[in-house]
Structure 1
Amino acid sequence: MVLIGAVLWGVSGTAAQLLFQRFNFNSGWLVTVRMSIAGLLLLLSVSIKSGPAYTIAIWKNKRDAMKLILFAIIGLLGVQYSYFAAIQYGNAATGTILQYMGPIFITVYVALRRRQLPSLVQLASVFLALFGAFLLVTDGDLHSFAISPLAVFWGLISAVTVAFYSLYPNGLLQKYGAATISGWGMLIGGIGMGFIHPPWHFTGHNTFSSWMLTGFVVLFGTLIAFYIYIASLKYISASEASVLACGEPLSATLIAVSCLHVHIGFFALLGGLCILITVTLMAWKGSTE
């Protein structure tokens, strides 16, 4: 289930790359549509399963409601927009791999908060990830960037927002459930982005293929991928799931290279592998503590 969800996320990134680079879609518009529709569908499913009262319970607690809004804007909207912007200025493979540096920022934050040095495994993981990022963005050439600096910028912002997204909502998730929090978060984020990129201000090529890709991003790359990933946590631990979720950047890279003919040099591939090894090491370290 985790692997299917991860592959759907990876394919979704590649579909978004097609929409941006071949059909001239705007990343902000796609974020608005993706988050709004997925949020509505998630909340509808929660209402059917648990009742409307359960779905709106969080709005009766002002403190939790404010935390939800902050999570929606900085966490969900931040990660969605920065991820798609990284794809728009670069490609799905590098955007996804850069996003997977999120655990590095989590490690640094936790170490600073606890005022203690990271373990040797964590320090080695941080340096390995930084080395991997260097290879990824330069392809081993010190005098040039292998990908757009804007793609690197938005990819790193995506990693930071992933860290926030992972750390901030734990209390809300335990109290109200993942589907409810994610549903409201996506809907709020979609509405927020809608003020900047209204869904009715569409730019791009209006074709059957482009709308099929959009539907795939919304339904399979967002709603279904999220549901089956959450459902998998009933059977395996979160650390095991995070290791298996490395299928996302691997699938994005394979599809980008094989289907979209994106050129990724040897050193860039080596850098991506370093980042994936980092995620695996940190997840393994977490599972043994």
Structure 2
Amino acid sequence: MRRNKGIFLVITGATFWGIGGTVAKKLFEQYGIDIDWLVTTRLLIAGFLLLTIHFFGKDRSQILGVWKTKHTAIPLVIFGLLGMLAVQYTYMASIQHGNAAVATLLQYLAPVMIIVYLILRQQAVLTTRDLITVSLALVGSFFLLTNGSISQLSVPTPAIVWGLLSGAALAFYTLYAIPLLKQYDSLVIVGWAMIIGGFALSFIHPPWQIDLKTLPFEAYLYLIFVIIFGTMIAFWFYIESLQSLLPKESSLLGSIEPLAAVLTTVFWLKEPFGMFQWVGTTCILFMIVFLALSKASTSEVSY
């Protein structure tokens, strides 16, 4: 039952994450919302809401307790800046320069990055399964980014760079949170991480520096969806799933996110997507599903 709960949480959170990216793209293009403002605002509001939920529902002493020792306070700050903020900003930047489908698919190279990291740290050995995984990821990325043409990339270079950085940030985000989650509730860790990230970005773009009066009613609905479902629930559910699943399992079962992003980008935003880009999408999704369904070898350690 606990494992089933983890699977439900990560799939639900990943779905909201993927759709939220597409909705953010619409906010950038159609309503002129600034990326810095959106990331700052969604982190601050979602973080505050998560801590509020914890305050009224669970052991409220954890909210301040996490700051009482440097052994948890310092890692929390690092997680907030290099994990939460990095994942949010790089992902949104990739969407702004490209589209939500490509940004999400590049972000989901994170499982491959985790494998490479563990091998370099000598916590796992290179297996046939890993070779198949990396091959699928490289082939998929090639078709996704070039649409079959070597001479010209089908995706702007900044979108590729931000997307790859987003994948690295997601890998760090997934692995780094484990020790904190063993000591404190996921609502506390995710809530404070969001507030830390949002506060840091406030120095670049204060959340109050925007004229919301010019926005139509539907834009407010999109903002609410991005903040509540695409941020608060998505990150909370993803981190909570780590309580009952291995980090690699959570990152792999989140394959519904790129699928949700691709479908909503193509059929809702009407973004063009070439035949070879669909081939690349298939390779990357197959890579994630292959890893999720295949058995880990006995030489691999848990995370």
TM-score by length of 2: 0.88
The CA distance in 2 between the partners of 1:112 and 1:258, in whole Å, is 40
Match of 2:184 in 1: 176
User: Which of 230, 244, 247 is the matching residue for 1:221?
Assistant: 230
Q: Is the 8 A contact 2:15 2:260 kept in 1?
A: yes
CA deviations on 1:66-116 (whole Å, 9 max, x unpaired) are: 111011101110000000001000111111111000111111110000176
Q: Does 1:66 align with 2:74?
A: yes
CA deviations on 1:29-62 (whole Å, 9 max, x unpaired) are: 1110111111111111111122431211110111
> CA 1:79–1:230 in 2, change beyond 3 Å: closer, same or farther?
closer
Q: Does 1:268 align with 2:277?
A: yes
Q: Is the 8 A contact 1:26 1:203 kept in 2?
A: no
User: Which of 14, 17, 26 is the matching residue for 1:18?
Assistant: 26
The CA distance in 2 between the partners of 1:230 and 1:279, in whole Å, is 19
> CA 1:286–1:195 in 2, change beyond 3 Å: closer, same or farther?
farther
Unaligned runs of 5+ in 1: none
The CA distance in 1 between the partners of 2:280 and 2:42, in whole Å, is 30
Taking the TM superposition and a 5 Å limit, the aligned residue runs for 1:231-250 are 241-250=250-259
Match of 1:138 in 2: 146
Match of 1:38 in 2: 46
Taking the TM superposition and a 5 Å limit, the aligned residue runs for 1:108-147 are 108-114=116-122, 117-147=125-155
Match of 1:251 in 2: 260
Q: Is the 8 A contact 1:136 1:267 kept in 2?
A: yes
The CA distance in 1 between the partners of 2:121 and 2:248, in whole Å, is 21
What is the aligned residue count?
289
Match of 1:210 in 2: 219
> CA 1:79–1:128 in 2, change beyond 3 Å: closer, same or farther?
same
Match of 1:48 in 2: 56
Most deviating of 219-228 and 273-282: 219-228
Task: Report the secondary structure of 1:20's partner residue.
Answer: helix
Most deviating of 234-243 and 166-175: 234-243
The CA distance in 1 between the partners of 2:223 and 2:278, in whole Å, is 28
CA deviations on 1:245-272 (whole Å, 9 max, x unpaired) are: 2111111111111111101111111112
Match of 2:104 in 1: 96
Task: Report the secondary structure of 1:176's partner residue.
Answer: coil
The CA distance in 1 between the partners of 2:68 and 2:124, in whole Å, is 38
1:65 partner amino acid: A
Task: Report the secondary structure of 1:59's partner residue.
Answer: coil
Match of 2:301 in 1: none
What percent of counterpart residues are identical?
A: 40
The CA distance in 1 between the partners of 2:71 and 2:243, in whole Å, is 29
Most deviating of 6-15 and 47-56: 47-56
> CA 1:92–1:143 in 2, change beyond 3 Å: closer, same or farther?
same
Q: Does 1:281 align with 2:252?
A: no
The CA distance in 1 between the partners of 2:117 and 2:257, in whole Å, is 24
> CA 1:213–1:104 in 2, change beyond 3 Å: closer, same or farther?
same
Unaligned runs of 5+ in 2: 1-7, 299-303
CA deviations on 1:117-152 (whole Å, 9 max, x unpaired) are: 411111221121011111111001000011111111
The CA distance in 2 between the partners of 1:171 and 1:33, in whole Å, is 28
The CA distance in 2 between the partners of 1:68 and 1:22, in whole Å, is 36
